[in-house]
């Protein structure tokens, strides 16, 4: 009888243990590269439809005000991993000399220690191999769209025939299906190269926009008046390279030469036919800039079609296998991007198009369909959110907060942040965007550029949503500026950016420029 009683107790413990185990959600983060909010229909894109990304929003939550701390590839991934600003995780920029310690604490470390199977597949863009992943297979550096090479866990390199977005998805599904330890909950990051420069579409999407003219942003011919750093940059669409970027006379560029015969034929059939219609001798400089814009938009949007389709494949797999209910799916990109605003491509600046990140999440067990969050989220929040969702304590040295309370109707936090801190470093390569730091509140943006000359900018987002007026010398804003400088300093102290604090204190002693 006594034995039976113990057996009963033991079975109760087992039931409660397994119940606890099955409760822990799986976590998939689909993290693309340079995907602008203006190219996602859930964010109101006028350019393209993204039904699969929209589906994540419709069945979950869309965060409409998510910002990155440093608008560039490697640094954003380091923030995703560590939940810390780049002055603490070491990934200041994309330079090949920047090699951070990938053994520092990161969210996969804590997940792994707490019984998760962890994996990262695709674009990684940190110059040391991943750690804390049960499985990883990553693109070297920026990676290739066509027939990409991968670095494997034994440090060998292999080349896979095909198109990167498809292959990365194949690899991810294969790990989900056959690679992982199915006794554990899992965490998987699917890192896409798309839609990064040089925007090489999959052959099947080349004709998707035949006959379409993309709307030109009203700031396309911005004169950069009163904005010194904007005058100094080199990231204008009018200067895109004909061969590498625009696919005109591109038969000798490296990525075209890696294509196989079938890929090359589809590529040439499309571009050579279209390029034959171009005669620049009869065009003005403005007309050429607009032609370049249309080609740029065509290629960028065609990359988005493949990205969205492949996200659909992952969602379908989760449905088919019954994993959807207990799997958190996050879609985000490392930062936003310019699609002709201010005449630009690329990112880096603290202006809205590149400061913003798409961030959409589905978690049927917690998030009601069609939830919208307007609170200010920063990418330091991603790692704490993932740990919180997994029931793992958030380490004190992570600088962000879990966003889960923002999506639960019961306990919405009242003291959520009302301002965010930004710091960009990489200069002069590439694109000559001066290093800068700044603060963004709900209405204002105060930016300080340093390095090659210094300058302040104040943007009033309410009166100037296109960010073309620098109000720093407008006496009406004197009190606002003083308040923002004080708040900027508080944020620097809070986030321990001592280097920037020194620069700010020096700048505050000198007359305004
Ligand atoms: Ca990027």
Question: Are 315 and 464 in a shared domain?
Answer: no
Distance 365 CA to ligand 1 centre (A): 31
Distance 91 CA to ligand 1 centre (A): 14
Distance 8 CA to ligand 1 centre (A): 55
Question: Are 397 and 427 in a shared domain?
Answer: no
Distance 98 CA to ligand 1 centre (A): 16
Confidence (pLDDT) at 227: 97
Confidence (pLDDT) at 512: 59
Question: Are 304 and 353 in a shared domain?
Answer: yes
CATH of the domain at 155: 3.40.720.10
The whole-number average pLDDT for the span 56-62 is 98
Distance 466 CA to ligand 1 centre (A): 22
Distance 65 CA to ligand 1 centre (A): 18
Q: How many residues does the chain have?
A: 513
Distance 278 CA to ligand 1 centre (A): 31
CB neighbourhood size of 261 (10 A): 7
Classify residue 390: in a domain, yes or no.
yes
Residue 479 domain boundaries: 421-507
Question: Are 125 and 192 in a shared domain?
Answer: yes
Classify residue 473: in a domain, yes or no.
yes
Angle in degrees, CA 60, 34, 225, rounded to 5: 115
Distance 330 CA to ligand 1 centre (A): 17
Question: Are 394 and 473 in a shared domain?
Answer: no
Classify residue 450: in a domain, yes or no.
yes
Distance 4 CA to ligand 1 centre (A): 61
The whole-number average pLDDT for the span 21-40 is 93
Distance 172 CA to ligand 1 centre (A): 20
Burial 413-439 (b: 16+ CB within 10 A, else e): eeeebebbbbbbbbbeebbebbbbbbb
Of 359, 383, 412, the last residue of a domain is: 412
The DSSP annotation for 120-162 comes to: EEE----SS---S-SEEEE-STT--SBS-EEE-TTS-EEE-SS
Confidence (pLDDT) at 451: 86
pLDDT tens string 414-444: 899 999 999 999 999 899 999 999 999 999 9
Q: How far apart are CA 308 and CA 319, in angstroms?
A: 17
Confidence (pLDDT) at 17: 44
The whole-number average pLDDT for the span 473-493 is 97
CATH of the domain at 429: 3.30.1120.10
Question: Are 335 and 438 in a shared domain?
Answer: no
Confidence (pLDDT) at 511: 65
The whole-number average pLDDT for the span 349-375 is 97
Distance 417 CA to ligand 1 centre (A): 25
Distance 229 CA to ligand 1 centre (A): 20
Q: Among residues of the chain, what percentage have pLDDT more than 90?
A: 92
Report which of 183, 198, 247 is spatially closest to residue 21, judged by C-alpha positions: 183
Distance 40 CA to ligand 1 centre (A): 16
Distance 64 CA to ligand 1 centre (A): 19
Question: Are 34 and 98 in a shared domain?
Answer: yes
Angle in degrees, CA 178, 78, 309, rounded to 5: 45
Classify residue 120: in a domain, yes or no.
yes
pLDDT tens string 139-184: 999 999 999 999 999 999 999 999 999 999 999 999 999 999 999 9
The whole-number average pLDDT for the span 291-314 is 98
Classify residue 317: in a domain, yes or no.
yes
Task: Look over the chain and give the mean of its residue pLDDT values, rounded to a whole number.
Answer: 95
Question: Are 31 and 97 in a shared domain?
Answer: yes
Report which of 106, 105, 111, 133 is spatially closest to residue 24, judged by C-alpha positions: 111
Distance 513 CA to ligand 1 centre (A): 31
Distance 196 CA to ligand 1 centre (A): 7
pLDDT grade for 16, boundaries at 50, 70 and 90: very low
Distance 454 CA to ligand 1 centre (A): 26
The whole-number average pLDDT for the span 102-115 is 98
The whole-number average pLDDT for the span 134-138 is 98
Classify residue 214: in a domain, yes or no.
no
The whole-number average pLDDT for the span 466-480 is 97
- Within its chain, how far is the Cα of 100 from the centroid? 19
Distance 277 CA to ligand 1 centre (A): 32
Question: Are 405 and 490 in a shared domain?
Answer: no
Of 374, 390, 412, the last residue of a domain is: 412
Distance 244 CA to ligand 1 centre (A): 18
Classify residue 71: in a domain, yes or no.
yes
Distance 335 CA to ligand 1 centre (A): 6
Distance 151 CA to ligand 1 centre (A): 20
Of 383, 412, 441, the last residue of a domain is: 412
Confidence (pLDDT) at 3: 53
Whole-prediction pTM: 0.95
Neighbours of ion ligand 1 (CB under 5 A): 33-34, 73, 334
Confidence (pLDDT) at 14: 43
Distance 77 CA to ligand 1 centre (A): 9
Tell me the torsion sign for CA atoms 124, 127, 131, 136: positive
Q: How far apart are CA 315 and CA 80, in angstroms?
A: 22
pLDDT grade for 43, boundaries at 50, 70 and 90: very high
Question: Are 61 and 160 in a shared domain?
Answer: yes
User: Helix (H) and strand (E) counts for the chain?
Assistant: 15, 16
Classify residue 373: in a domain, yes or no.
yes
> Is residue 75 pLDDT above 70, yes or no?
yes
Q: How many structural domains comprise the chain? A: 2
What is the rounded radius of gyration, in angstroms, for the C-alpha atoms of the chain? 24
Distance 424 CA to ligand 1 centre (A): 13
The DSSP annotation for 264-320 comes to: HHHHHHHHHHHHTT--GGG--HHHHHHHHHHHHHHHHHHHHHHHHHHHHHHHHHHHH
Report which of 438, 429, 418, 231 is spatially closest to residue 351, judged by C-alpha positions: 438
Confidence (pLDDT) at 19: 44
pLDDT tens string 227-267: 999 999 999 999 999 999 999 999 999 999 999 999 999 99
Question: Are 188 and 133 in a shared domain?
Answer: yes
Question: Are 368 and 303 in a shared domain?
Answer: yes
């Amino acid at each position: 009888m006594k034995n039976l009683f113990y057996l009963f107790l033991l079975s109760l413990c087992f039931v409660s243990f397994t119940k606890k185990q099955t409760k822990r959600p799986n976590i998939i983060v689909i993290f693309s590269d340079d995907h602008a909010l203006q190219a996602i229909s859930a964010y109101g894109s006028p350019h393209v439809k993204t039904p699969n990304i929209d589906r994540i929003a419709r069945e979950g939550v869309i965060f409409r005000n998510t910002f990155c701390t440093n608008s560039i590839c490697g640094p954003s991934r380091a923030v995703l991993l560590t939940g810390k600003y780049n002055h603490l995780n070491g990934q200041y920029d994309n330079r090949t000399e920047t090699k951070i310690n990938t053994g520092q604490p990161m969210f996969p470390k804590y997940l792994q220690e707490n019984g998760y199977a962890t994996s990262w597949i695709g674009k990684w863009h940190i110059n040391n191999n991943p750690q804390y992943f049960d499985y990883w297979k990553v693109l070297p550096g920026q990676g290739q769209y066509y027939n990409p090479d991968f670095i494997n866990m034994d440090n060998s390199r292999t080349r896979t025939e095909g198109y990167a977005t498809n292959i990365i998805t194949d690899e991810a599904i294969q790990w989900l299906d056959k690679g992982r330890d199915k006794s554990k909950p899992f965490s998987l990051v699917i890192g896409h190269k798309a839609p990064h420069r040089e925007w090489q579409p999959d052959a099947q999407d080349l004709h998707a926009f035949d006959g379409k003219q993309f709307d030109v942003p009203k700031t396309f011919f911005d004169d950069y008046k009163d904005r010194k750093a904007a005058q100094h940059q080199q990231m204008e669409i009018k200067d895109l390279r004909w061969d590498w970027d625009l696919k005109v006379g591109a038969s000798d560029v490296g990525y075209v030469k890696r294509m196989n015969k079938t890929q090359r034929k589809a590529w040439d059939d499309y571009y050579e036919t279209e390029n034959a219609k171009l005669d620049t001798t009869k065009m003005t400089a403005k007309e050429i800039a607009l032609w370049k814009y249309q080609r740029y938009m065509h290629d960028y949007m065609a990359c988005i079609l493949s990205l969205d389709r492949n996200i659909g494949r992952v969602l379908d797999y989760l449905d088919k296998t019954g994993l959807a209910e207990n799997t958190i799916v996050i879609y985000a990109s490392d930062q936003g991007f310019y699609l002709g605003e201010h005449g630009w491509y690329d990112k880096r600046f603290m202006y809205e198009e590149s400061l913003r990140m798409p961030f959409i999440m589905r978690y049927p067990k917690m998030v009601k369909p069609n939830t919208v969050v307007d609170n200010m989220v920063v990418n330091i929040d991603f790692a704490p959110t993932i740990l919180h969702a997994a029931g793992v304590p958030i380490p004190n040295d992570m600088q962000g907060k879990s966003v889960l309370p923002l999506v639960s109707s019961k306990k919405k936090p009242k003291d959520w942040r009302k301002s965010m801190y930004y710091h960009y470093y990489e200069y002069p390569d590439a694109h000559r965007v001066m290093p800068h730091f700044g603060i963004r509140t709900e209405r204002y943006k105060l930016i300080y550029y340093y390095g090659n000359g210094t300058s302040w900018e104040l943007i009033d987002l309410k009166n100037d949503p296109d960010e073309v007026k620098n109000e720093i010398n407008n006496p009406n804003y004197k009190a606002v500026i003083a308040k923002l400088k004080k708040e900027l300093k508080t944020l620097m102290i809070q986030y321990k950016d001592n280097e920037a604090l020194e620069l700010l204190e020096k700048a505050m002693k000198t007359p305004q420029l």
